[in-house]
Structures are given as C-alpha cells and as structure tokens.
Amino acid sequence: MKKLFFLMIVLTAVVITSCNQANSAQSAPQDETIIDKPQLTLTSNRMTPEVLWSLGRLSDPQVSPDGKTIVYGVSYYSIEQNKGNRDLYAIDADGSNQRRITKSAKSEYNALWRPDGKKIGFLTTESGSMQMWEMNPDGTNRTQISDIAGGITGFKYSPDQSMIVYTKEIPVENKFKDIYEGLPKATGRLVDDLMYRHWDTWADTYSHIFVANYDGAKMSNEKDILPGEPWDAPMKPWGGMEQVNFSPDGKSIVYTSKKQQGKEYSLSTNSENYIYNIETGETKNFTQGMMGFDIAPQYSPDGNYIAWESMERDGFESDKNRLFVLDVNTAEKTYATENFDQNVGSLLWSPDSRSIYFVSDVQGTFQIYEYKLEANEVRKVTDGLHDYGTIAWAGGQLVATKQTMALPTELFVVDPASGTETQITFTNKELLDQLAIGKTEGRWMKTFDGMDMLTWVIYPPDFDPNKKYPTLLYLKGGPQGPLSQSFHYRWNYQIMAANDYIIVAPNRRGVSGFGQAWQEQISGDYHGKSMKDYLTAIDIMAKEPFVDADHMGAIGASAGGWAAYYLAGNHEGRFKAFIAHDGIFNEEAQYLETEEMWFENWDKGGAFWEKNNKIIKDVYENSPHKFVQNWDTPILVIHGEQDFRVVYTQGMTAFNAAILRGVPAEFLFFPDENHWVLQPQNGILWQRTFFAWLDKWLK
C-alpha cells in the first residue's frame, strides 16, 4: 500500500488529481445549494471535529502562461448538508489581489489556463454530466466546450491550442451478456478472473485517452488513442492527467498504462510509458524491459528529453521511486538519481530544460530538490519541518503547495536558488489564529538493535511539564511510506493534542525517507523489528515525568490497524485502550479477500499454503488473530463496507473475537465509506467516537 501513501502525501493530500476529482464529483449527489466558507463561532481555543471540517482545503495551483497569476481550488464543507463544494480562486504571483472567480453549486475541477492565457478551462457537472467548460480569467462568460456522452474525467490543451487531450470512462463489455438476456433487474455479478474490483470501485469501466480538435469554442473529431484496448490509461485508481502529456511541438502524446488484465494485472506492478504519434497513430513503448512502476512521463520544454518516475522491481510497490531521463534523439536512458537514496515525485522541468525539480521525502518531511542534467547531481533546495507537495513555475520563482502538522495546505513562493519561501495564501488564517496549537518535536531514539530512529512527539496546547498526560502511540499505516508533516483531516495530531493527549509517532522500520534499506526491513516482518520499534518509542517516552504511563493507548489505521490488533495480543500490559481502523486481523483471509496480489506476495512472501518458505511461515504464524487468546484490553474497531483493499469482515471478525473473549469493545461500521471516511457527518461521528473511547479508558 506504500505507493498509495506516497501519492496521497505528494498528490492527493495536497492536490487531488483531475481524474479522481472528476470521478468523485460525478458520483456525488449534486444540488443547487451554494456552499460558502463556514462561519464558525468558537467556544474555546481547541481544535474540534467541527473546526476541522470548517477548514478550507486548497489544491491544484495552476500558473498563467505569463507567470503572473495563479488559479487554484478551495473546497469547503457543509456539515448540515453533509457535502462539500469546490470553487476556484485566483491570486497574483506576488501574493496580491486574491479573488474568488467562481461561486456555483456545481464544483469546478481540473482548472487549466489556455496556452494563450485568455481563458481558463475547467470541468464541472453544470450541464448534467462532467464536461469541459471555459471562462474568462475573472470568471465571467462560462461556456461549455465539450459534449461527450457519459462525460469526461480530465483534459489538457496542446501547446499550440489546436487540440485537447481528454480522458473518459469506457464500459467494459459483459462477456456473459447472453446469460442476462431478459433479466433487466438482475443485480448479480458474474466474474471469472481477478481484479474485478479495486480499492472501492467495481471494474465496470476502463479509463481511455482521447484526442480532439479544438477551434477555440468546441471540440470535434474525437479519437480514442487506445481503440479496443481493454486496459486503463491513465492507471486506476490514483492516476490522473499527470500521466498524460503533449510534446512541445504538439505532435505526440506521452502516457502511462499497465496493459494487463485479470490475474496478470493483480500480480504485477509493471506499468509502461508510451509515445503516441498523433498523425500516424503509431504507439511506442519506451520503458519496455523496465519491470516496475513507470509513470508520469513529461517532455522537457525543448522537446529533447522525457523525464519520468520509475521503480525497478516488478511486484514491489514500495521500491525506490527513481528519476529517469530519456534522450529522445538517441533513445539513451539515464538513471538520474542513482546516487540519491530517496524517492522522487512531482517532477518539474526548468524552463531552459537543464534541470528537473522534484519533491522528495526525507527524515519525516517533504523537501524540494533540483537535479542538474549536465552535472548529473542532485541539490537540496529547501529545508524545514514541513511537507512540500506540487511545484510549478511563476516567472523565475517556484510556486508550491506546503503543509505542516499544524497548517493545512497553502501556497508558497520559493526562490529556487536559496530555498527562501514566502506564504502567499492564508485560506484558514482567521480560524487558525483562534486556536492553540501543540508543539511538534523530533526525538532521535536508539532502537533495540542500536539503530537511530526519529520519533515525532506532539504535545497538547498549553503543555505543562509538571502535569501527567495520557499518551497515544500512533501506529502508522502503509506499512511503507512517509510519516511526515502532513495535515490530516481524520488522523489529525493537533485535534488529538487538543484533547490533552501526548502523541508519540515513531518512524519505525518500513517508513520511507530514511533510506531504502530502512524501508524494506518491514517486508515479511511486520511482527518483528517494526513492533519492537513501536515499543522502544513508547517505553522511552513512558519514562518522562509528564507521561502518564498508566494511561497509554495505541491507535492506527490500515497497516496501523494490523499493528493495533497485533499489539493487543503482545503488549505485556503497556496499554489501556486500542483503536484499529480498517486493519488487517487475519492474514490468511486477507490474502484471499484483497485485490492487489502484488502487495500480498511481496510483503508476505506469498500464499499461506506455501509453508515450506520460512518467511511465509513466520508471516502467517504471526497474524494478529493468532494472539487473540491474549486479548484483555478494551478495543474500538472501525471499518467501512466499501473498503475493498482491506475487506470489512476483517474488522467484524476482530470485534466478534473481542466480545467472545469478554473484552470491552465497540464496532463503528460505515456502510457508505471506503478505506477512508470522506463525508462530513461521518467524519465528525468518527472523531466523537474516537475521543469518547479514549476518554473512557485513559482519563
């Protein structure tokens, strides 16, 4: 699942990709009520669930062709209406003249400047289905550009403005349609291969790429560039228009696809990058023989190079995300970050094609880096306790999204030479200025085997070292990926601190940003080093006079839920309460219930019936459910029915086991949520249940 978490930090938590934005909005109920910035009167200076859901969520900054103006989206949520709405804003690159340019009941997504700078294109459901529209830079004169049956999910202009490339969903042909004849109300699904559903969606459609002529007012002559091909481009579920790009001369399109189906698809991460010649229709695979994830190709401004993100090993989604560069003229490939033991993401060419800027996770943060082609070297641009996300050019400066554990995403201008930053948007300043914020501290600790481990400690606002505080061990999901400075809208450290808990968040084995070797130590060993790392961190903190060692809890989701279930049977009395959200309880069942078999085979070593393999044997013998006879500590279990990655029966069986064991337990079940909790009222119910449980057992 690490690929997900890296993308969620670099993309989704900072800027929701256009394809996923469109899909989400198209499926969400739409009415004619405009949602404005909530007017919330605070009764205290502490973060609450209602405050959390009142914060504006900024995403997807796009700079005008002249570099002077930035358009971006902000989503606000109505708790009463139980939905959100996204409008577009603009601001000058120097931070002046901020203005709202849309105010409608239908959200706007995928906003892009037309190459001539005279119009802004965007997606909205104003006409019923998701279509492309345009407007003047001030938001006036909204005009519908596309009228595509079923709607579209993303788009981009060609550099010369003569074409538009867009994506849409193509229905999968039902190979069993004869059986369904005369049964229009039948709801049964008949399948004969794997990957029939993924994360939270049944595989009923393919995503395909189309190219169309554009005359400044309408699209015409739409053409599917993958006609008849039964696979997704961009890749689902997280791929968007960052995986589709024009060449500077507008003659070619580069795109990402994993051209596999069924069982083969479920076992492999081998995606490829392709060049499609618009005139001839010829398609060329330029990453053939590169066996891991290869994604997000983009041409240099001079058209001589293509840069992309690449993983080396097939089936290992947590492999190092590397920067590769293709010389278009010679077909030579360069592993640009061979001597750089970190991941890369959010690639951005310099205007002169001599450098590639990117974002990378390092020691619990995300920083901006520069790769210089001629010198073949990487330079760190920024430093500090923050997460940078997307980056773009605005004149000679970088415009970047940035967040911290205490600051939701905002826009910053960054000097590419010095790394000096200036905040230019203040979306939530009025609300945040009224809140007391807890301090975040990084502590380096020695693990049981003498390694150095960074642990984040977040203190309550108005922390008094002479008091004792109940303390929470945060169990990270993934299990790979970063534990960084992200501002989360559910697992939010500040709202935990605001409830007078100390939070201990160890960057245990498996976390990225500390070298690939550190991250890989968790594969095949969830129960070993990483669990000892957790206990090392909480044992060290328990010695502090301000930590109430008699009132400690352990909380986590996904792989963190796995850890909560495991520690519930192996904690030797350390904890007085557990919370597991969407966690894996029974590894044998998980192997046969989930969909991404590449993940199971890599991290577990293979199927549970292959017991001649020691790693496999150890993995399944240490499944959390094998220790349920030791459970004696209250546990709250949370799960969503639409979670196809970790099926809800994992949570149900854990809860049932606790009750049958006589262990105090509660089960919070969401029939309409997936691996996350995305609806405002459900989110608030989650928070209220979370803290009611902790307060009951830890205070």
Q: What is the DSSP string of 50-85?
A: HHHTTS-EEEEEEE-TTSSEEEEEEEEEETTTTEEE
- Which residue is catalytic, options 548, 558, 603, 639? 558
Token pair 């009228």 in the structure block, residue: 147
Q: Which residues contact 224 (CB under 8 A, 6 or more apart)?
A: 170, 208, 209, 210
Q: Any residues with CB less than 8 A from the CB of 177 and at least 6 apart, and which?
A: none
Q: Report CA 330 to chain centroid distance, whole Å.
A: 35
For the chain, how big is the Rg over CA atoms in Å? 25
Active site residue: 60, 361, 387, 643, which one?
Answer: 643
CA angle (316 as vertex; 310, 322 as ends), nearest 5: 20
Annotated catalytic residue 623: no
Across the beta sheet with 109-113, the strand order is 109-113, 120-124, 131-135, 143-144
Nearest Cα to Cα of residue 388 among 24, 18, 61, 29: 61
d(CA 9, CA 5): 6
CA-to-CA distance for 495 and 501, rounded, in angstroms? 9
In the annotation, is 462 catalytic?
no
Kindly tell me the sign of the dihedral angle through the C-alpha atoms of 239, 382, 364, 545: negative
Give the residue carrying structure tokens 């983009």. 298
**Tokens, residue 58:** 């900024």
Residue 275 φ then ψ, to 5° = -110, 125
| Order of strands, sheet of 272-277, starting from the edge strand that comes earlier in the sequence | 244-246, 252-257, 272-277, 283-285
Phi/psi of residue 623, nearest 5 degrees: -60, 140
At 27 the three-state DSSP class reads: helix
Please, are residues 308 and 274 in contact by the beta-carbon 8 Å criterion? no
**Exposed, middle or buried: residue 636 (CB in 10 Å: 0-12, 13-18, 19+)?**
buried
Residue linked to tokens 């690159």: 93
- State phi, psi for 518 to the nearest 5 degrees: -60, -45
Which DSSP category does 10 fall into?
I
DSSP string, 190-209: ---SS-SEETTEES-EEEEE
CA atoms of 37 and 632, how far apart (whole Å)? 46
DSSP 672: T
Give the residues across from 460 on adjacent strands: none
Apex CA 277: angle with CA 273 and CA 280, to 5°?
A: 140
User: Which residue out of 208, 386, 551, 675 is catalytically annotated?
Assistant: 675
Q: What are phi and psi of 678, to 5 degrees?
A: -110, -10
Q: Which of 154, 269, 135 is nearest to 209 (CA)?
A: 154
Backbone dihedral angles phi then psi of residue 390, each to the nearest 5 degrees = -90, 155
Joined tokens for residue 654: 């854990």
Q: Where are the beta strands (DSSP E) in 487-643?
A: 502-506, 547-557, 577-581, 635-640
**What is the rounded CA–CA span in Å between residue 438 and residue 497?**
6
List the one residue out of 688, 692, 634 whose CA is nearest residue 661: 634
Torsion of CA 614, 616, 618, 624, to 10 degrees: 180
User: Which among 222, 246, 211 has a CA at the least distance from the CA of 148?
Assistant: 222
- DSSP symbol at 365: E
Q: Which token pair is 311?
A: 């993983």
Report the Cα 510 to chain-centroid distance in Å: 18
Distance of CA 575 to the CA centre of its chain: 30
- Which amino acids are annotated catalytic? 558, 643, 675
